[in-house]
Amino acid sequence: QIGLFLGILLAVSAVVIALIIYTMTMEKLKQIATLKLIGAPDRTIIGLIVQQSLILGTAGWGIGLVLILLVKDVFPRRVVLEPFNVAVLAGIIVVVCLAASGLGVRAALKVDPATALGG
pLDDT digits (tens, 9 = 90+) for 52-107: 999 999 999 999 899 988 888 888 887 777 899 889 889 989 998 998 899 899 99
Query: pTM for the full model?
Result: 0.82
CA 22 to CA 32: how far, in whole Å? 13
In this predicted model, what pLDDT tens digit does every residue of 14-51 receive, in sequence order? 888 889 999 999 999 999 999 999 999 999 999 999 99
Check residues 20 and 7 and name the one with the higher pLDDT.
20
Give the pLDDT confidence score for residue 76 in this predicted structure: 81
Is 119 a residue whose pLDDT tops 70?
A: no
Closest CA to 69 of 57, 56, 82: 82
Closest CA to 11 of 102, 99, 90, 91: 99
Q: Are 54 and 97 in contact (CB under 8 A)?
A: yes
Closest CA to 14 of 118, 110, 101, 115: 101
CA 94 to CA 76: how far, in whole Å? 32
Give the pLDDT confidence score for residue 68 in this predicted structure: 86
Domain residue spans in the chain? 32-76, 79-112
Give the pLDDT confidence score for residue 114 in this predicted structure: 84
